[in-house]
Structure 1
Amino acid sequence: MSLDIRTVNKGRLAITDVGGTLRTHNVNGAITIKNAKGTTEARTINGPVTINYLRVPPDTSSYYTLNGTLEVTYPDDLSADVQFKSMNGSLFTDYDNTETLPVAVVKNVEKGSSRGTLYRLDIARRVKFGNGGRVLKFETMNGDIYIKKQSQKL
């Protein structure tokens, strides 16, 4: 089953045991997901996002909160390229097999413009976990990001 759930103002999303794609949007409330298996998009404006995966999402997943903490727990075999942005926060992890990746250069071609080709640096920092691969995007303005290894097999 896949879910697309949205709420506004003082709603709290709590989702458990969904194997399909998850799209969760909340304004002024927390998002908690337990035992996920699928690709995820979790967005809230004011509140924390806490997710526990039974297996690593199969495709690009993204996690966003304007004011709150992002805390995501993956199985210990995580292989992904993590992109993260935080104006007033840091990324923390207990995974050992990580490698900082260089800043990405993005090429934008503006058709019909006399300005030509525009190159810009992507402000997202990137870290490779394990062998890399799927992309996991984390963004918060005011909050820390925690990427945690499961402490035990579920």
Structure 2
Amino acid sequence: SKDLLALETSPARSSPVETHYELKLPSHVRAVEINSADSAVKLSQMTGAITISVQGSSIELKDISGAVRTKIVKGETKVTLNKSPGEPQELSSISGDIELRLHGDINADISAETIDGEIEADDDLELKVEKRTMGQSATVRVGTGGVALSIKTINGDIRIKK
């Protein structure tokens, strides 16, 4: 059987509702899937696979070592890694900035791509930015390389900080 926890808030059309959910899950949960409209999503210290789809708000991830797939239609994504991810991570945005912060000894192969925006990184990362007819792309090996970390946005900037 498939274990599932579903939470839904459906406000009446005439009266908007503000709702906050805070869930504390074991770090080893196998999979988390979140679909949200106009709600900020924050996750930390998870090892399972994570899929997040958000419209019109923000995503903040800290110390996620499992597979990650995020898609945000309009809003900002911030990801902080304190150790190397164990599985590929894919961060994508239609309209919004994406920021990746790397702390400690991280090993990863990072690729970044934006159609209408800029890619920036701290100097010590030696990021190679390639300007194209439309947008920019970049790749960088952090540490000894390893797991793929893909960052893509159509309309937004990408910042990689160490």
User: Contact 2:65/2:87 (CA < 8 Å) preserved in 1?
Assistant: no
Question: How many residues of Structure 1 are paired with residues of Structure 2 in the alignment?
Answer: 129
State the match for 2:84 in structure 1: 56
Task: Name the SS of the counterpart of 1:22 in structure 2.
Answer: strand
State the match for 2:151 in structure 1: 138
Any unmatched runs of 5+ in structure 1? Answer: 103-122, 150-154
Structure 1 residues 58-97: aligned runs within 5 Å: 58-94=86-122, 96-97=124-125
CA offset at residue 32 of structure 1? 1.3
Q: 2:39 aligns with which of 1, 7, 11?
A: 11
Q: Please list the CA deviations of residues 95-138 of structure 1 after superposition, one character each: whole Å capped at 9, or x if unmatched.
A: 61436499xxxxxxxxxxxxxxxxxxxx9542222322221100
Report the AA paired with residue 155 of structure 2: N
Give aligned-pair identity as a percent.
21
CA offset at residue 66 of structure 1? 0.9
User: 1:57, 1:47 → 2: CA distance?
Assistant: 24
**4+ residue runs of structure 1 moved beyond 4 angstroms?**
none
Q: 2:50 aligns with which of 17, 22, 39?
A: 22
Residue 31 (str. 1) matches residue 56 (str. 2) = no
Distance 1:34 1:80, change over 3 A: closer
TM-score computed with the length of structure 1 as normaliser: 0.71
Q: CA RMSD in A?
A: 2.4
User: Contact 1:101/1:128 (CA < 8 Å) preserved in 2?
Assistant: no
User: Contact 2:119/2:137 (CA < 8 Å) preserved in 1?
Assistant: no
TM-score computed with the length of structure 2 as normaliser: 0.68
Q: Please list the CA deviations of residues 7-37 of structure 1 after superposition, one character each: whole Å capped at 9, or x if unmatched.
A: 2421221223323222111122211123323
Structure 1 residues 122-133: aligned runs within 5 Å: 124-133=137-146
Any unmatched runs of 5+ in structure 2? Answer: 1-28, 131-135
State the match for 1:110 in structure 2: none
Distance 1:54 1:79, change over 3 A: closer
